[in-house]
Structure 1
Amino acid sequence: MYRSLHEGWTLAAAGTPAETAGDPAWVRPPAEALAAVPAAVPGCVHTDLLAAGLIPDPYHDANELALGWIGRTHWTYTTSFQWQPEGFDRVDLACDGLDTVATVTLNGTEVGRTRNMHRRHRFDVTGLLRPGDNVLTVAFTAPYAYAEEQAARLGARPGPYDEPYPFIRKMACNFGWDWGPTLVTAGIWRAIGLDSWSGARIAEVRPQSRRDGVDVTVRIERVAEGAVEVAAAVGNVRVEGKLAPGEQETTLRVDVPDARLWWPRGRGEAHLYDLVVTAADDEWRSRVGLRSVELDPDAFRIIVNGEPVFVRGFNWIPDDTFPARTTAADLRERFGQAIDAGANALRVWGGGVYESDEFYDLADRLGLLIWQDFPFACAAYPEEEPFASEVEAEVRDNVARLMGHPSLVLWCGNNENIEGHQHWGWPAELEGRSWGAGFYYELLPRLAGELDPGRPYWPGSPYSGAPDRDVHDPATGTIHIWTVWGSRDYTHYADYTPRFVAEFGFQGPPAYATLRSAVSDDPLAPDSPGVRHHQKAIEGNLKLLTGLGAHLPRPETFDDWHYWTQLNQARAMSFGVRRFRALMPYCMGTVVWQLNDCWPVTSWAAIDGARRRKPLWYELRRAYAPRLLTFHEDGVAAVNDDAEPWAGTLRLTRRGLDGTVLDEATVPVTAAPRAVAFTPLPPGLADAADPAREVLVAEFDGRRDLRFFAEDPQVAYPPAAFEVEVADVPGGHAVTVTAETVVRELALFPDRLHPSATVDDQLVTLLPGDRVTFTVRADERLDRVALISHPVLRCVNEDRS
């Protein structure tokens, strides 16, 4: 019997190390205010202090800087609860998530210590509970104090930031990232409760799926001798077994006749079977999908049920800096946004956490493939004790917890740590100290092979398949492309012919309403203090301007900066995705950095920190469509990621900007299932007579792609002329635009009028005579004149007279 202990908690500051108590930027409440703060469990210190009105919103302006003292303070959580004996042999205190270094005490007696945010803990408290009042305390050591002590003991390790996150098994991005704030948490961040039981309990279930059934390994914990009856049922098929006295583990083979397979999105039904396991009087329930998964390592193709899958994915970071705040509803919204953009996969990045059960359950139901990094990111990690033991315990716990999910198709050892050792000068800095190689090449594959042999393991990303291969080699394994954004124009993506791109990205600011609500600057400007604070990347704003290159004009106003940098982000990523998809099946995956943000910030995300879709999202929805028509090198590619052939007539026209057809050709095209049909450009179409005044148009089966012969500042656009009609519709407005001239990258930004306002499309280029209708939704009626006026309605060649 399980009883949660989520009520009645208070939080108290238990001291700050003297040597770190005096940063003048900190704003710390008086000691008496921190003596008994009401605490929410699950939660964390920051959210409790915020709810009590003791700290300002950490996400607003530069408030983050005032709160550095929190991560350097010891904190104690305390609750009292009533308990009466109920005849059970054993009562355990089950802690699903303690963040991070904690001492747990019940009625004045220490019951256990923890030092790992990423694992569950269970303590036998049978003899410590007493009838009536009981007092439970969880005392957290300041994360910085612990991590810095370990760093001093073991020696420094190289990493991207002057932060000690490799020395504590905790969410790395708590310590700040180039998209995230430095808000170092402590707290009871997942469920805590009492689990009472007798005889035997199910300690662990490890379901290993096959296409024709499931092998269910059951491990029990017992307080009594004697045989234990165990059983596993998948759907209507039940298999029974017995554990003899002293035995702790058995595997039951459940074969399912006429099995219905679990398929990823776009391949079939994501069918799930109920799985029920019993042992003595205990019961465990979950759902499983029957499928196989393999990895072709050199080509880096993920193969599900014998079929290679082109991965159209996003990298996933924690959806909130304070992950206990992420609800199941939040996950449904974010997954829906990923799916609506055409994604079939998410990569859980290694600087975050093993996500909640709800995360993987939802992915199972929706058919989303999950690539799971083990939580090691961008730094050298010590392999000495206590870290080696903690990592092993963490991996055993999470592999067992997650392996039953059919959506999970890959374990990956780390993010960019092998690259760091090869290319970032680590060996000289390390001077022989450990850096994690023993984890990635020995411990993790051994544990994955022991516990979950049916699922592939990959040592890291980027990685080319062997420790002595250069991780930057695009010909094998995975690569990350950061030359674009870091130093090169986005057209440099065309220089890559990769097997699988697991990370690539380009920055853009968040939606106007998101920035406006997070920053009090008046007026907003790219370099105003709040806007600048919500840009964490080194030289980020400079790179935004540099990245405009020859593609767009130099912005003179904030409104132009906002529109053009968002547009440039969308174009950059669309260029890369289209390039790599047109290389299918040589290239079999693109995982965009990144889907989401954990707070309001200028970043690489498609969905900003207030969950608003940036123009990038809309452009990726086009680029990630199962059937894609795109100009590719010196021709046109029809990319068909569908089970049926894609056949029709490709029409190519070279036109003047006034719509006049200057030359044309038609070509029959058939793209086989899961294949690309490439059509070279016929003579007379590849080159323009007047590059500033012509455009190449490809049309096929209702799809269209455009190739302008010059960059926008060099194109002789006429001032955009169009007719606009606004009609009220249920829940908002329909805005219909009919083009009289070419209208380049037409966009509506209705959130400038009301923060609830959204639009169903963005960045639509119209040729003379084209018409488009945008649907705007909002919680209240919008000003119809403002809705179709600058800066809400924008295009590149807008008439500014």
Structure 2
Amino acid sequence: MSSYRPLHEGWTLSSRDLAELPASVPGCVHTDLLAAGVIEDPYLDGNEHRLAWIGRTEWTYRTVFAWSPDQDERTDLVCEGLDTVATIILNGVRVGATANQHRSYRFPVRHLLRDGGNELIVRFGSVYDYAGVQRAALGERPGAYDEPYQFVRKMACNFGWDWGPTLVTAGIWRPIGLAGWSGARLAEVRPLAHADGTVDVHVRVERTTEEPLTLTATIGGITTEHRLEGRAAVVSLRVPEPELWWPRGYGGQPRYDLTVRLSGGDEWHGKIGFRSVELERDAFRLKVNGVPVFVRGVNWIPDDCFPARITRPRLAGRFGQATAAGVNLLRVWGGGLYESEDFYDLADELGLLVWQDFPFACAAYPEEEPFRSEVTAEARQHVARLAGHPSLVLWCGNNENLEGHADWGWQDELAGRSWGAGFYHDLLPSIVAELDPGRPYWPGSPYSGAPGLPPNDPASGTVHIWDVWNREDYTRYAAYRPRFVAEFGFQGPPAYATLRRASSDEPLTPDSGHQKAIDGQGKLLRGLGRHLPEPRTFDDWHYYTQLNQARAMAFGIERFRSLMPYCMGTIVWQLNDCWPVTSWSAVDGDGRRKPLWYALRHAYADRLLTVQDGELALVNDTAEPWSGELHLARRGLAGEPLAKEVVAVHAAPRSVIRVVLPESVAVPDDPARELFTARLGAIRTTRCYAEDTATAFPPAAYDAHAEREPGGYRVTVTAVSVLRELAIFPDRLDPAATVDDQLVTLLPGESAVFHVGTAQELDTSALTGFPVLRCLNEAVRP
């Protein structure tokens, strides 16, 4: 029998200048110092900069635990996550040293344990000191930031990013404990499932005896036994007529319980799903169970700078926000982590596909020792750990390093030094081919499919589009005809309540809160362009820049979806934030949905109407045909039809059809005083012929009233005039309040009902007035 005892109690934290204080394990130095009142919240005001000393300090974690001799032959100290440069000391004896946040470690310690009290110390050195030694030995390597993240195997974005703070952590960030066993233990179970119902269970054991062992595997009521005389085996089982696992929107997500037992009592339990996945490389088209999948994706960054705070309920909430917005894929970005078991289990459960970058991002990485061995060990561990998850559909070698080497001037700086190519083109694909051969591998993103091709060519492979936001107006997306867009984004500030919490400024201004992007504030304002008015107040700035972010991303998504099946995926930068910041996210650092989230829900809907190049594209990403009468109209701003057309349409399942717009509705008599509508069934799109700033909208006139309903308020807005981009921001009244819809355009006589969720009593006049209720053509602005 095996046993496990967590060692999570009684820890203290200290440094040369700080006496012992209570510590939480799992956790990190920053959260321990915060809990003890030594530091202020690193996420608020300018505290980030005042806390830089933490990452340059040596820290000591210490606990004393009782132990008594037992019947186990072996006892191991299991460290699932040490961040990062650690020395482990048990009862005064150095057990081991580590320098990789991405790995777990197991040390035999039974010979060091004492009957009674035992002292365990984990001492963390400064990662800056460690990285400096490696840099001096191996030579400088270029990167996107003046931080040494490429010289230590640690979450890169801890060192700061254009959306994240520089909060360099240390600590026991994943569980730690004692594992006892006798005879033999299951060191690794790696199930490889196939769409025909076969599962090949690869098993490695550690053993103290050479006696034959019995290995038993059970799934779906089927059991098989294997006589194991060595240290590895493959046990194969077959479930007849298995139910296949599908991405959300394509079918169900059945999973099967798999149990592996070793004689002596050690057991492993997991859930697997039967499905196939393949990548058509030239087109970069993912197929699951032989069916092409248009990827409606979002990029995922670590949801907190301090990952021990990320719980399963928190992940479930964030995944729920993703699925409610129509998302079917999460790309785990390469500047973060291999995520927790909860992350991939939830993705399996919800049918969310996962694209997993190996953790390399935006820098040239040395391939020499000690890094080659560290990368080999971490990759083997996590490829084996994640092989059984049906949601995982792609391993990717890195983020933007191939582009950096080709296009960012790195080659001159490197002067022939290694930069990671051997990892991305040799080491990592060989590990995937050995341990997870049924899952595609892609060397990096962006990447065009061969080392000699320009990495960021839209015509093949994956592309990252960043001229929009950095230099170009968002209408530039219309000039692209990409195969697959793995990154594109546009900034907007967080929700008002999030910004209010993050900044103590009175009053708030556009420069309150956090902005990490180079010239980010300037780009936000220039990005408004001709699309929206120039802000006069903070309230204007907040609404207009949030709205512009939503419009920019909807414009790009609709463009790329209209190109299906030539283009087969978009992955928006980004779903989430790790702290309260102005960024590219749809959900801000406090978990509040920005207007972009509502725009994503519309642009990622199963069925979409979008005007493209003088045509109306009908995007039908469902398994059923979409047929009916398409109603097209050119209208005056009072809503009256100036021209109408009706077209019979039929869009086959998983297809896009284009309808050429008749001239009567395509060409306005007066662009400033007309708009276009298209409706098919319950789905409608509204488009102005001119930019909003050049459209002669009448002053907004409407009737709005709010009434209590279970769980909050029902707000009904009836338009007397046209109302452009109507939105309610209830978090201005109650930080916990939510609203079910935003950015609605109403024609005169139409009504919209908004459901505001809150446990508080709200002032109904405030709920239906400025600045909580906004639209672009407001009659009066304070």
TM score, norm. by length of structure 2: 0.99
Please tell me whether residue 727 in structure 1 is matched to residue 729 in structure 2: no
Q: Using the alignment, how far apart are the partners of 2:355 and 2:224 within structure 1?
A: 31
Please tell me whether residue 259 in structure 1 is matched to residue 242 in structure 2: yes
Contact 2:705 2:764 in 1 (8 A): no
The alpha-carbon deviation at position 257 of structure 1 amounts to 0.4
Which residue identity does 1:261 align to in structure 2? Answer: L
Q: Output aligned runs, 1:12-161, within 5 Å.
A: 12-14=14-16, 31=17, 34-161=18-145
Please tell me whether residue 236 in structure 1 is matched to residue 221 in structure 2: yes
The alpha-carbon deviation at position 779 of structure 1 amounts to 2.0
Q: Secondary structure at the match of 1:375?
A: coil
The alpha-carbon deviation at position 228 of structure 1 amounts to 1.1
Q: Using the alignment, how far apart are the partners of 1:583 and 1:541 within structure 2?
A: 33
Q: Secondary structure at the match of 2:713?
A: strand
Q: Secondary structure at the match of 1:665?
A: strand
296, 300, 312: which one pairs with 2:280?
296
Q: Using the alignment, how far apart are the partners of 2:405 and 2:667 within structure 1?
A: 46
1:67-111, Cα deviation, whole Å (9 max, x unpaired): 111000011111110111111110000100000011111111111
Q: Secondary structure at the match of 1:69?
A: helix
Please tell me whether residue 274 in structure 1 is matched to residue 254 in structure 2: no
Please tell me whether residue 759 in structure 1 is matched to residue 761 in structure 2: no
Q: Using the alignment, how far apart are the partners of 2:690 and 2:448 within structure 1?
A: 37
Q: Return 5+ residue gaps in structure 2 as ranges.
A: none
Match of residue 210 from structure 2: 225
520, 524, 533: which one pairs with 2:508?
524
Match of residue 18 from structure 1: none
Q: Using the alignment, how far apart are the partners of 2:448 and 2:404 within structure 1?
A: 14
1:350-398, Cα deviation, whole Å (9 max, x unpaired): 0000000000011011110000000000000000100000000000111
Q: Secondary structure at the match of 2:477?
A: helix
Q: Secondary structure at the match of 2:433?
A: helix
Q: Secondary structure at the match of 2:665?
A: coil
Contact 1:299 1:586 in 2 (8 A): yes
Q: Using the alignment, how far apart are the partners of 2:671 and 2:27 within structure 1?
A: 59
Q: Secondary structure at the match of 2:521?
A: helix
The alpha-carbon deviation at position 586 of structure 1 amounts to 0.8
Q: Output aligned runs, 1:433-582, within 5 Å.
A: 433-527=417-511, 530-531=512-513, 534-582=514-562
Match of residue 6 from structure 2: 4
Please tell me whether residue 183 in structure 1 is matched to residue 163 in structure 2: no
Q: Which moved more, 1:230-239 or 1:711-720?
A: 230-239
Which residue identity does 2:464 align to in structure 1? Answer: H
Q: Output aligned runs, 1:413-432, within 5 Å.
A: 413-432=397-416
Q: Using the alignment, how far apart are the partners of 2:161 and 2:277 within structure 1?
A: 33
Q: Using the alignment, how far apart are the partners of 2:296 and 2:378 within structure 1?
A: 30
Which residue identity does 2:768 align to in structure 1? Answer: I
Q: Using the alignment, how far apart are the partners of 2:653 and 2:303 within structure 1?
A: 36
Q: Using the alignment, how far apart are the partners of 1:369 and 1:51 within structure 2?
A: 37
The alpha-carbon deviation at position 153 of structure 1 amounts to 1.5
Q: Secondary structure at the match of 1:127?
A: helix
Which residue identity does 1:8 align to in structure 2? Answer: G
Which residue identity does 1:462 align to in structure 2? Answer: P
Q: Secondary structure at the match of 1:114?
A: strand
Contact 1:213 1:259 in 2 (8 A): no
Please tell me whether residue 587 in structure 1 is matched to residue 572 in structure 2: no
Please tell me whether residue 633 in structure 1 is matched to residue 613 in structure 2: yes
Q: Using the alignment, how far apart are the partners of 2:561 and 2:515 within structure 1?
A: 31
Contact 2:468 2:477 in 1 (8 A): yes
Which residue identity does 2:253 align to in structure 1? Answer: A
The alpha-carbon deviation at position 513 of structure 1 amounts to 0.4
Q: Using the alignment, how far apart are the partners of 1:676 and 1:737 within structure 2?
A: 34
TM score, norm. by length of structure 1: 0.96
Q: Using the alignment, how far apart are the partners of 2:594 and 2:161 within structure 1?
A: 21
Q: Using the alignment, how far apart are the partners of 1:421 and 1:195 within structure 2?
A: 44
Q: Using the alignment, how far apart are the partners of 1:745 and 1:157 within structure 2?
A: 47
Please tell me whether residue 204 in structure 1 is matched to residue 213 in structure 2: no
Match of residue 20 from structure 1: none
Match of residue 306 from structure 1: 290
Q: Output aligned runs, 1:608-619, within 5 Å.
A: 608-619=588-599
1:650-674, Cα deviation, whole Å (9 max, x unpaired): 0100011011111111111111001
Match of residue 714 from structure 1: 694
The alpha-carbon deviation at position 777 of structure 1 amounts to 1.1
Q: Secondary structure at the match of 2:596?
A: helix
Match of residue 643 from structure 2: 663
Which residue identity does 2:750 align to in structure 1? Answer: D
Q: Secondary structure at the match of 1:333?
A: helix
Q: Secondary structure at the match of 1:103?
A: strand
Q: Using the alignment, how far apart are the partners of 2:198 and 2:329 within structure 1?
A: 24
Match of residue 389 from structure 1: 373
Please tell me whether residue 343 in structure 1 is matched to residue 345 in structure 2: no
563, 583, 602: which one pairs with 1:603?
583
Q: Using the alignment, how far apart are the partners of 1:472 and 1:684 within structure 2?
A: 40
1:521-560, Cα deviation, whole Å (9 max, x unpaired): 1111113xx43xx000000000000000000011010000
Q: Return 5+ residue gaps in structure 1 as ranges.
A: 15-30
Please tell me whether residue 326 in structure 1 is matched to residue 310 in structure 2: yes
Percent identical pairs in the alignment equals 64
Give RMSD over aligned pairs: 0.8
